[in-house]
């Protein structure tokens, strides 16, 4: 059995370009993943995480079209790259599923907004560790197109998209962590 420490230290960003084509992520796994996300810490139990799952090929195609269209429309000519535009549109189709990560701000604003963002980030970490345990690659992407996708996602008052969580089966080798020593980041008093 994999320990929590092993999962935490071996979790990596696995990008859509490495996902195995045509290998679906089962809806039952996504449900388990979201239930694990739902158990993240949350101050005053605001539970600010919301999710939109792009699972079907049709929904992932629509997401890809929105991402590539946004890139084309909003990228200055001097920064525009046809390759990047195509990649933005293809990545959702390479994934077995993509989940829009949404924060629902507490209407009473009983906690600072940063605590709501932190709670959503902890929910995403739970998702990532769930994927790591099953050998599913995952990547949290925050392109401007996703961060400004309120209309496409039909977001309500107080909601904002914090990015897209891509998932896919892969055969990438385990790579060592690239972290500096914790001693360089710690002061004991």
Residue 1 confidence (pLDDT): 78
Q: Binning pLDDT at 50, 70 and 90, where does residue 35 land?
A: very high
Q: Is the pLDDT of residue 177 over 90?
A: no
Higher per-residue pLDDT: 39 or 1: 39
Q: Is the pLDDT of residue 174 over 90?
A: no
Residue 160 confidence (pLDDT): 97
Please give the mean pLDDT across all residues of the chain.
95
Q: Is the pLDDT of residue 55 over 90?
A: yes
Tell me what percent of the residues of the chain surpass a pLDDT of 90.
92
Q: Is the pLDDT of residue 28 over 90?
A: yes
Q: Which CATH superfamily hosts domain 4-185?
A: NADH Oxidase (3.40.109.10)
Radius of gyration over every alpha carbon of the chain, rounded to an integer in angstroms: 18
Residues 104/159, Cβ–Cβ less than 8 Å: yes
Which sequence spans correspond to the domains of the chain?
Answer: 4-185
Distance CA 56, CA 38 (A): 23
Of 103, 107, 126, 100, which is closest to residue 41 (Cα–Cα)? 126
At 87, phi and psi to the nearest 5? -60, -45
* Contacts for 15 with CB less than 8 Å, ≥ 6 apart: 137, 139, 166
Residue 22 confidence (pLDDT): 84
Cα torsion angle, 130, 64, 21, 30, sign = positive
Q: How far is CA 53 from CA 27, 64, 102, in A?
A: 10, 14, 11
DSSP state of 170: B
The arithmetic mean of pLDDT across residues 27-56, rounded, is: 97
Q: Please write the tens of the pLDDT for every residue from 91-139.
A: 999 999 999 999 999 999 999 999 999 999 999 999 999 999 999 999 9
Residue 25 confidence (pLDDT): 96
């Amino acid at each position: 059995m994999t320990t929590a420490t092993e999962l935490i230290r071996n979790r990596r960003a696995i990008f859509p370009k490495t996902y195995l084509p045509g290998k679906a992520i089962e809806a039952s796994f996504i449900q388990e993943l979201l239930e694990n996300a739902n158990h993240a810490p949350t101050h005053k139990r605001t539970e600010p995480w919301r999710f939109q799952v792009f699972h079907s090929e049709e929904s992932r195609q629509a997401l890809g079209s929105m991402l590539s269209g946004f890139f084309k429309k909003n990228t200055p000519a001097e920064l525009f790259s046809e390759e990047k535009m195509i990649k933005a549109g293809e990545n959702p189709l390479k994934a077995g599923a993509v989940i829009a990560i949404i924060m629902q701000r507490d209407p009473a604003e009983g906690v600072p907004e940063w605590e709501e963002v932190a709670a959503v980030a902890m929910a995403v970490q739970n998702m990532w560790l769930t994927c790591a345990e099953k050998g599913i690659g995952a990547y949290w992407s925050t392109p401007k197109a996703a961060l400004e996708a309120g209309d496409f996602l039909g977001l309500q008052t107080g909601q904002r998209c914090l990015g897209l969580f891509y998932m896919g089966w892969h055969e990438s080798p385990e790579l060592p962590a690239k972290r500096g020593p914790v001693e360089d980041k710690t002061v004991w008093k």
